[in-house]
Amino acid sequence: MDKILNNDLIANWLTLTHIQMNVTNELEVNLQANHGLSLKEFYLLLFLSEAPEKKLKLQKLESMVGLSQSAVSRLVSRFEAKGCGALERKACDSDRRSIYTSLTSIGEAKLIRAQETFKDTLMTAFPEKDVEQLLAQMLRMKPQS
């Protein structure tokens, strides 16, 4: 009996990760096609938009975006190299070794447009009638911290 439960648990986990990977891939494709943004770049803009004064230290961004410090630095550098003016980097006044990345008004506008694509992609993947039930189930499974 335990073997059957274990197999079901594994199968359910694989189904969940498969769905998540498919939705992630759709988000990546749609953001890239419509806005020239990778999913990580979208998250970068989103997290900056939610931060006080719309700026964060690179060290803080690495935990939020899920990348190493060097990978976040490269992500920001590549974003800046696009020349779209969405981000600015500045040295921290109190600690010159720390760098702040801030969201510009151009970046905010880009994010607002990209959020529509993000939302539309999610609504296609998860029809509205199912979203509330899905979220409620996921919140019940979330470990309490």
- The kind and range of the H/E element at 43 are helix 39-50
- Which residues on adjacent β-strands are paired with residue 55? 102
Q: pTM of the entire structure?
A: 0.84
Residue 102: inside a domain:
yes
Looking at the domain assignment, is residue 21 inside a domain?
A: yes
Is 144 part of a structural domain of the chain? no
Nearest Cα to Cα of residue 20 among 32, 8, 10, 28: 28
Q: How many CA atoms lie within 13 A of 49 on its CB side?
A: 17
pLDDT at 5: 64
Asked whether residue 46 is domain-assigned, the answer is yes
From 111, 90, 99, select the one nearest 70 (Cα to Cα). Answer: 99
Which residues constitute the domain of residue 64? 2-124
Does some domain include residue 52? yes
In a domain, 136, yes or no: no
**Inter-residue contact 63 to 47 (CB < 8 Å):** no
Number of structural domains (the chain) is 1
pLDDT (tens digit, 9 = 90+) per residue, 131-145? Answer: 788 778 878 877 776
Q: pLDDT tens across 55-90, in order?
A: 998 888 888 888 888 898 888 888 888 878 899 888
- Domain membership of residue 131 (yes or no) is no
Q: What is the CATH classification number for the domain harbouring 22? A: 1.10.10.10
**Residue 139 maps to a domain:** no
